[in-house]
Amino acid sequence: GQTTLVIPLDFQQGPGAMVIVAGPFTPLFGDDEVTRLRQYASSITASLDRVTLTARIHDLEKAKTEFMNIASHELRGPMTVIKGYLTMLEGGSLGILAPKAISVMPLLIAKADEVNAMIEQMLEAARLEEGHLELRKETGDIVELTELAVDSMRPMLAERQLDLDAPKTTMLADVDIERFQIVVRNLISNAIKYSPEEAPIKVVVNRNGETARVIVIDRGVGIAPEDQSKLFTKFGRIERGSTMHVAGTGLGLWLSREIARMHDGDITCESAEGSGSTFTFEVPIIP
């Protein structure tokens, strides 16, 4: 038998060792003890690797949140200035523009708004992670709020068709009006990114029992079943050949679902690869 054992531990971060010295409990280590201790060492290695990996993931998530917070604050100021000057140019405050320049101003302003929306996503995500995201609820008409959100997206669509199918009646709910529209815009933006330019996008508002539903339907690339689990994860992006070029933070759908759930609602998706996607945003209405 042996009086001392040195058992290698094969950690992911590098090699280690477990040293066991015989004592009154076991003066000598026999073959059976050596086999069992090697098995224990294997379990210890796996457990410590999991602990290390969990700590690294936590640190990475924290670093991402801190980066989003800093980056979004640093970007917000310059983009506010850019948007301000674009608005002044469009309104003629800085002189008269040539007709061709005037014709592109709505698109430039829409793109500035798109960047601002990405900055806001990062800020909102950081607030949510830090537990500082609070809703400012008030009574709003879901139909009217959806119409406003749809209209705000039209400058980004160029010639693309965006149809709204909504009832003429009001549909009242207690919502954070600004964030409700952010969710609708996020879903429309997602449909724009992942569908061809000639493919129409449809937004439907209806009622299902005591729930108001905003449904965004596209005829885009669709989502394979194995990719759908990534949809509502933070920084989750589906990177296949046809979508590798799509820009974004990977936060929009995750943040939208979190906001929906803070309203006691939810967002769900029905999709098949090559057949487009249907996203349904639900919130409870006032009885």
User: Do 29 and 167 fall within a single domain?
Assistant: no
Does 105 share its domain with 189?
no
Residue scoring higher pLDDT (262 or 41): 262
Q: For residue 178, give Cα distances in angstroms to 58, 175, 284.
A: 31, 9, 17
Question: What residues make up the domain containing 80?
Answer: 1-133
Count of domains forming the chain: 2
**CATH number for 48:** 1.10.287.130
Looking at 133, 154, 188, which one is the last position of a domain?
Answer: 133
Between the ranges 12-26, 169-183, 187-201, 221-235, where is the mean pLDDT highest? 169-183
One domain, residues 191 and 263: yes
What mean pLDDT comes out for the span 35-61?
75
Residue 33 shares a structural domain with residue 147: no
| CATH code where residue 220 lies | 3.30.565.10
Range with lowest mean pLDDT among 106-120, 143-157, 262-276:
106-120
Q: What percent of the chain has pLDDT over 70?
A: 82
Q: What is the average pLDDT score of the chain?
A: 83
The answer on 158 and 128 residing in a single domain is: no
Question: What's the whole-model pTM score?
Answer: 0.67
Of 133, 148, 171, the one marking the end of a domain is 133
Q: How far apart are the first and last CA of the chain?
A: 79
Residue 16 has a pLDDT of 75
Are 117 and 157 in a shared domain? no
pLDDT reported for residue 241: 55
pLDDT at 15: 78
pLDDT at 56 over 60: yes
Whether 180 and 274 map to the same domain: the answer is yes
With beta carbons less than 8 A apart as the criterion, state whether 169 and 208 touch: no
* 127 and 157 belong to one structural domain: no
159 and 277 in a single domain? The answer is: yes
Residues 276 and 161 in one domain: yes
Kindly report the three-state secondary structure assignment for every residue of the chain.
CECEEEEEEEECCEEEEEEEECECCECCECHHHHHHHHHHHHHHHHHHHHHHHHHHHHHHHHHHHHHHHHHHHHHHHHHHHHHHHHHHHHHCCCCCCCHHHHHHHHHHHHHHHHHHHHHHHHHHHHHHHCCCCCCCEEEEEHHHHHHHHHHHHHHHCCCCCEEEECCCCCCEEEEEHHHHHHHHHHHHHHHHHCCCCCCCEEEEEEEECCEEEEEEEECCCCCCHHHHHHCCCCCCCCCCCCCCCCCCCCCHHHHHHHHHHHCCCEEEEEECCCCCEEEEEEEECCC
Last residue in a domain, options 74, 109, 133: 133
Amino acid identity for residue 190 in this structure: N
Q: Which two tokens stand for residue 71?
A: 């980056």
Same domain, 166 and 143: yes
Summarised one tens digit per residue, pLDDT across range 70-124 is: 766 777 788 888 988 898 998 888 888 888 988 888 888 888 888 888 888 888 8
Q: Are residues 149 and 117 in the same domain?
A: no
Across-strand partners of 202?
Answer: 163, 217
